[in-house]
Structure 1
Amino acid sequence: MTRLTLNRTGARTMAWRSSAVLAAGVLTLAACSGDNGAAPEEEPEATGSATADGGSEAAGGDGNAEIRFSWWGSDERHTLTQEVIDLFMEKNPDITVVPDYTDWGGYWDKLATTVAGGDTPDVMTQEERYLTDYANRGVVGDLAALGLDTSMIDPSVIQSGTIDGKLAGVATGINAYAIVADPQIFEEAGVEMPDDTTWTWDDFVSISTEISDALGDDVYGVQDYGGNEAGFNIYARQHGESLYAEDGSLGYEDATLEAWWQHLVDLRAAGAMPDGARSVEIAEGGPEQSLLGTNSGAMGMWWTNQLGAISSAAGRDLVLLRLPGESESERTGMYFKPAMFYSVAADTEYPEAATAFVDFLINDPEAGALILSDRGLNANTDVRAAVSDQLDPLEQQAAEFLAALESEIVDGPPAPPNGAADVPEITGRINEQVLFDTISPAEAAAQFTSEASAAIGQ
């Protein structure tokens, strides 16, 4: 088990350099597989250069570059992203950006197929559970070596996209896993809102129980939260451990995971959260059917970008709180999670044009004003501040909450290792067994460690 350092990552040196073209690997995802490619004997020379006004002179024989940008999402995101692309091309007339998008379900199959066929998108959107796979296969380049300016992104966020010392992906935006609370239910129960800078896990159990006891009639202190491994990761980090270690192994002691699940058993036994059957039913309904969304619970653990949807369902304003235990143990555990990442293909024909586009997406205030919170609240703190008055009130609350955390966050967790995409399913399944008392917290911890170790090849 690897303990986490208390120091932030140091400053990064960013200067424009030609890209070393890495081997174009084949990522095993979905139905595609293949052998790793061999690296070229020599590095090709990039002929483009950055211009003084932030545009670029693209590499290529005729001075023009055509790059492909892939992403997933809804029709609304596709329309918005095309507006961003159009603005970039207006500012950079020598670069053409070709859109390549699909929904989440088809994205990874499509990306794996194009990578296997040697047709990797020049700029691609990544998710944390897959980034390590692509980085280890040599599919994505090192954005630091490409000269991407990340000076206005929190070092802990940069750390989350860094694999083996290389910046494999830069965050599109950030979220945090937090407590969403309903002040009206606290008031109805006669319970004071907690001081989230000092409350402990024992306080959390006690407050949840007090609310349930006071209100009864199917109103609970908290919704089950054991099915999302992000909560445990924070708990483990508070104790100097982590879900994953830097070397890609599991980074916690079974006793820590057992204690995490024991809190849930204690809450359920006290009537502070619903029984197993109701908890499973609620979880399947998403934010709209959550305890908070139906005015039948005081607290739940959610990502900060879900505050708006839950508040809308509830029909009243909800608030964000830090997870308990942040001042209780060895260190703070909360962290900024990249909503998604932008990566540049290692074998792109136009590394400078591709990097200029990523730079525009994360650093240009006009791009930020179009994107707003679509891909998380902007990871660039200057851009986030510049567009804050365009955010709706709940997004502004989330932005202020994230800003307040900046001085408290120690570091970012390591990027999830290969196979981590299977861990959410393992977490949810074992949590249900705990909810129905078919296994004890100790048995759940041992089973999770065994299955998660197998999933990540440890």
Structure 2
Amino acid sequence: MRRSLPTRVGVAGGVLGLLLTTAACGGDSGGGGGGQAAEEGTTREDGPVALRMSWWGSDTRHAATQQLIELYQSQNEGVTVEGDFTGFADYFDRLATSTAGGDGPCVQQQDTRYVREYADRNALLDLTPYIEDGTIDTSNLDEAVATTGQVEDATYAIPTGVNAFTLVVDPQAYAAAGVPVPDDSSWTWDEMVQTAAQVTQATGGQVYGMQAMGLNGGDTNFEVYAREHGEALFDEDGQIGFTEETLVDWWNIEKEASESGAEPEPSTTVEVFNGGVDQALVATGRGASGFWWTNELPALTAGAGRELQFMQFPTEEGNGETGMYLKPAMFWAISSDCESPKEAALLINWLINSEDAVEIVKADRGLPVNTELREQIAPTLDAPGQAAVAFVEEITPDLQDPPALPPQGAGEVQAIMQRYTEQILFDQISVEDAASQFMSEVQSAIA
């Protein structure tokens, strides 16, 4: 049984503050906090420029990003882009270490959980000057997420695209089990678990009804649940925004899913989680559903070899207000260590505003954040991409606004959530004790 991923993610969150504090104390090269104008640094006019660009993701994303790099280099003589790819499990641990050493990648894929942390510690460049002078054109960015990379009055990150965290289901798995796919316009959390258990039972455990919701994106899953109840993971002031009772209720749903057979036994659950998107139950034909981001559908479909579809989150009574929201799939940011920030900004602008770039990436980093290009490429997307466009368009009118960037230390929440979810599944702790200890640890992390 592999249990390494939660440990590695926890390392990334736990040492991040220490590493970045050490890095920030080494000098004043950071661009954070004050909205200071950035120097252009070395540009192609001065001679050959080399940029390091880092990202995480599936093999599909890796291949597409390599294509992007090759195309950009062919269109921009004198600029070389070095790819720095790793899986999500190691990404932020590696990024924190390189940043502490003054060697952060010039252009880096960032996540909502960490943008404020890096910005507040002067590890990211303020992109405002490049936006104001037009180097990075934000005029066509989706208004729902265009400013989600801001900390106070400074912009530290540009969204790559938009997506939503939702349920991905395999209709053929339901059909083979003789279980109807629920109506997601009116279904409840109880119905989700009961239906999933029926799938597992009908197939003799050959196909599980659902993948554990508290591990893969567990913090986001709970955030949606909390927002359904008028609460939040963090409020606008960066404080804990949910009650212990709400967390207990959510974890009890997970516990019921495990005990009823709706999801695999705990050891298999952890092994599947550690395998990432490529080993997801719906991607390997071993499951009927799981919670994933809309931009992950192409990779899931490629693994499954058949059509998968989206469903909206259930609600408590089946007709309540959804807690779902559009989120930046991820961000592009520039390290304050970058010696060629102007060139890095030009690369980011190309990544979000170039038709050539969008045609390569499609919807892998979320539906294109440039709304004009999104509309333009929608008919050219493969079936999963078109399904994502249609789903997002369908649900957008009912969605809540995206939350503000979480506070420093929020990057640890995912690992804390995973650890307590595992302990609950293995009967090592009660749900009530887990909820109490979780809230204490999160409070300490963001203090």
Common fold: TM-score over 0.5: yes
Aligned pairs (5 A) from 1:379-394: 379-394=369-384
SS in 1 for 2:415: helix
CA distance in 1, matches of 2:391, 2:219: 22
- Closer/same/farther in 2, CA of residues 223 and 119 from structure 1, 3 Å limit: closer
- Closer/same/farther in 2, CA of residues 79 and 354 from structure 1, 3 Å limit: closer
- Closer/same/farther in 2, CA of residues 84 and 421 from structure 1, 3 Å limit: farther
State whether structure 2 residue 177 is matched by structure 1 residue 194.
no
Of 171, 183, 186, the residue aligned with 2:159 is 171
State whether structure 2 residue 260 is matched by structure 1 residue 270.
yes
> Structure 1 length as normaliser, TM-score?
0.77
Retained in 2: the 8 A contact 1:326–1:332? Answer: no
CA deviation profile, 1:126-146 (whole Å, cap 9, x unmatched): 233331122112343443453
Question: Offset of 1:231 from its aligned partner?
Answer: 0.8
Aligned pairs (5 A) from 1:148-227: 148-227=136-215
Aligned pairs (5 A) from 1:101-180: 101-104=83-86, 123-145=107-129, 146-147=131-132, 148-180=136-168
Question: Offset of 1:163 from its aligned partner?
Answer: 1.9
State whether structure 2 residue 73 is matched by structure 1 residue 86.
yes
Retained in 1: the 8 A contact 2:114–2:411? Answer: yes
CA distance in 1, matches of 2:212, 2:329: 23
CA distance in 1, matches of 2:44, 2:139: 32
Query: Amino acid of the residue matched to residue 157 of structure 2?
Result: G
Partner of 1:229: 219
State whether structure 2 residue 282 is matched by structure 1 residue 292.
yes
Retained in 2: the 8 A contact 1:237–1:333? Answer: yes
Partner of 1:22: none
Stretch deviating more after TM superposition (327-336 or 364-373): 327-336
Retained in 2: the 8 A contact 1:140–1:344? Answer: yes
SS in 2 for 1:33: helix
- Closer/same/farther in 2, CA of residues 115 and 184 from structure 1, 3 Å limit: closer
Question: Offset of 1:333 from its aligned partner?
Answer: 1.8
Question: Offset of 1:258 from its aligned partner?
Answer: 0.7
CA distance in 1, matches of 2:84, 2:75: 21
Aligned pairs (5 A) from 1:359-370: 359-370=349-360
Retained in 1: the 8 A contact 2:296–2:364? Answer: no
CA distance in 1, matches of 2:208, 2:97: 47
SS in 2 for 1:283: helix
- Closer/same/farther in 2, CA of residues 207 and 68 from structure 1, 3 Å limit: same
- Closer/same/farther in 2, CA of residues 220 and 123 from structure 1, 3 Å limit: closer
Q: As a proportion of its length, which structure holds more helix?
A: 2
Query: Amino acid of the residue matched to residue 281 of structure 2?
Result: L
Extract unaligned runs of 5+ from structure 2.
1-15
> Structure 2 length as normaliser, TM-score?
0.79
Superposition CA RMSD, Å: 3.7
CA distance in 2, matches of 1:294, 1:31: 42
CA deviation profile, 1:238-282 (whole Å, cap 9, x unmatched): 222222233333221111111110111222333322332332233
Retained in 2: the 8 A contact 1:430–1:448? Answer: yes
Partner of 1:246: 236
Question: Offset of 1:433 from its aligned partner?
Answer: 1.2
Retained in 2: the 8 A contact 1:88–1:357? Answer: no
Query: Amino acid of the residue matched to residue 140 of structure 1?
Result: L
SS in 1 for 2:122: coil
CA distance in 2, matches of 1:211, 1:168: 45
CA distance in 2, matches of 1:226, 1:42: 38
CA distance in 2, matches of 1:409, 1:331: 9
Question: Offset of 1:319 from its aligned partner?
Answer: 1.1
- Closer/same/farther in 2, CA of residues 293 and 117 from structure 1, 3 Å limit: closer
SS in 2 for 1:387: helix
SS in 2 for 1:385: helix
Question: Offset of 1:80 from its aligned partner?
Answer: 1.5
Query: Amino acid of the residue matched to residue 357 of structure 1?
Result: L
Retained in 2: the 8 A contact 1:125–1:342? Answer: yes
Stretch deviating more after TM superposition (381-390 or 145-154): 145-154
